[in-house]
Amino acid sequence: MGVVPIEKLLPSHIFRPDDAVPIAALQLPATAKMTRIGFDHKPGEPLLFEGETQVKVRIQERTWRCRVKETGQIRKSQRWRLEVLVDANNPDSIQPTHQVVVAQTPYGNGWVQATTFKKYTKHTREREELEAKLPECDGMKDIEAKFEAALVYDPWETGQHYVAGISYPDGDLQLLANKPRNTAVDYVIGVCPDFKVACDELLTSTEVKRLLEMTEKDKLGFWKQGAPSKRPHLYDETKEEAQTLIMLAVRQALAGPCDFSKKWHGQPVSKLVEHLYCDHLNNRNRQISRVPKQEQFTEH
């Protein structure tokens, strides 16, 4: 299945990644599968879950270098990097430019990112050439957005794997701080030819428009079936966040289901979008219900 528990990626004796020693020497990459979406897609047909591709997943400590535009100064930054590797000779024709989508569970974290597979090279570049091609940034705040997007080749991969990397600033994965429930974080992994195109197609689909219309009319069964004794009230404040929540659900759904299994093969991605969206609505609605009415009035 396409889920990798964080416990498999980190040494068992540490609690936070930024307290870790370099991980590369400690363990081999974890194996997982990523869900394919949109490769066999035909115009006019819905996006479907098409199958799974074997990958390796690891978290590595990497040293990044970039050039500050104003001064030309070269800056270094030590960062943890989540890396998804697929064999260049994979049977499913996954190629560089295809995009990996990684979501975290619990989905209520709201964490999901997309990144592009990069090529590998076995050639050692001279330092002058490397520095001439360093990513440029406006400052250290800008560095995160520039790291992955600027590179065609993965700087560290010398084997025959395409690598999709997600970098975390300052050695801090920002998963566990002030969120005890996040100690059980899992990564869910999917892949599609173009993440933005897939997002746009889902957001303009009849199924997603129907979910928003039913939300506005308060006709969507967003709660867990059988849980409440009576139909929950959908707050206006929740309705106002519907567009944000549906966009989050679409992005997370493109990482594929936690447990692919046969039941998801050939199913529309919009089916998972609805499931995630209803969960987000339910969670947000419950949060608003706990806020005293006076505070709700003051906020708006």
pLDDT in tens, 269-291: 999 999 999 999 988 888 887 76
Q: When comparing pLDDT for 207 and 128, which is higher?
A: 207
Contact 78, 63 (CB under 8 A): yes
Contact 133, 152 (CB under 8 A): no
Residues 225-244: pLDDT tens digits? 655 556 778 888 989 999 99
For the record, the structure tokens of 273 come out as: 């979008």
Same domain, 231 and 129: no
Has residue 250 got a pLDDT over 60? Answer: yes
Domain end point (choices 143, 168, 193): 193
Same domain, 180 and 223: no
Q: What are phi and psi of 79, to 5 degrees?
A: -140, 150
Same domain, 218 and 189: no
Q: Cα(6)–Cα(289) distance, rounded to whole angstroms?
A: 32
Same domain, 150 and 252: no
Same domain, 186 and 274: no
Lowest mean pLDDT, pick from 37-41, 119-123, 157-161: 119-123
Same domain, 182 and 237: no
Q: How many domains does the chain have?
A: 2
Q: When comparing pLDDT for 129 and 135, which is higher?
A: 135
Same domain, 229 and 247: yes
Burial level of 224, CB count in 10 A (0-12/13-18/19+)? exposed
What pLDDT is recorded for position 147? 72
Contact 250, 208 (CB under 8 A): yes
Residues 80-123: pLDDT tens digits? 889 999 999 999 999 999 999 999 888 988 889 999 999 988 76
What pLDDT is recorded for position 77? 77
Q: Are strands 30-37 and 49-68 parallel, antiparallel or unpaired?
A: antiparallel
Same domain, 124 and 255: no
Q: Can you tell me the mean pLDDT for 57-75? A: 83
What pLDDT is recorded for position 272? 96
What is the percent of the chain with per-residue pLDDT over 70, rounded to a whole number? 75
Contact 203, 247 (CB under 8 A): yes
What pLDDT is recorded for position 291? 63
Same domain, 53 and 138: yes
Q: What are phi and psi of 65, to 5 degrees?
A: -130, 140
Same domain, 209 and 125: no
Q: Can you tell me the mean pLDDT for 190-200? A: 97
pTM score: 0.83
Same domain, 18 and 80: yes
Q: When comparing pLDDT for 129 and 4, which is higher?
A: 4
Q: Cα(253)–Cα(271) distance, rounded to whole angstroms?
A: 9
* Most confident of the ranges 69-73, 208-212, 255-259: 208-212
Q: Can you tell me the mean pLDDT for 126-146? A: 65
Q: When comparing pLDDT for 8 and 242, which is higher?
A: 242
Name 61's bridge partners.
Answer: 80
Domain end point (choices 193, 223, 252): 193
What pLDDT is recorded for position 83? 93
What pLDDT is recorded for position 154? 87
Domain end point (choices 193, 228, 250): 193
Contact 11, 166 (CB under 8 A): no
What pLDDT is recorded for position 157? 86
Same domain, 173 and 254: no
Has residue 26 got a pLDDT over 60? Answer: no
Contact 280, 20 (CB under 8 A): no
* Most confident of the ranges 96-110, 138-152, 190-204: 190-204
What is the percent of the chain with per-residue pLDDT over 90, rounded to a whole number? 41
The boundaries of the domain holding residue 206 are 198-299
Count CB-CB contacts under 10 A for residue 196.
Answer: 10
Give the chain's mean pLDDT: 80
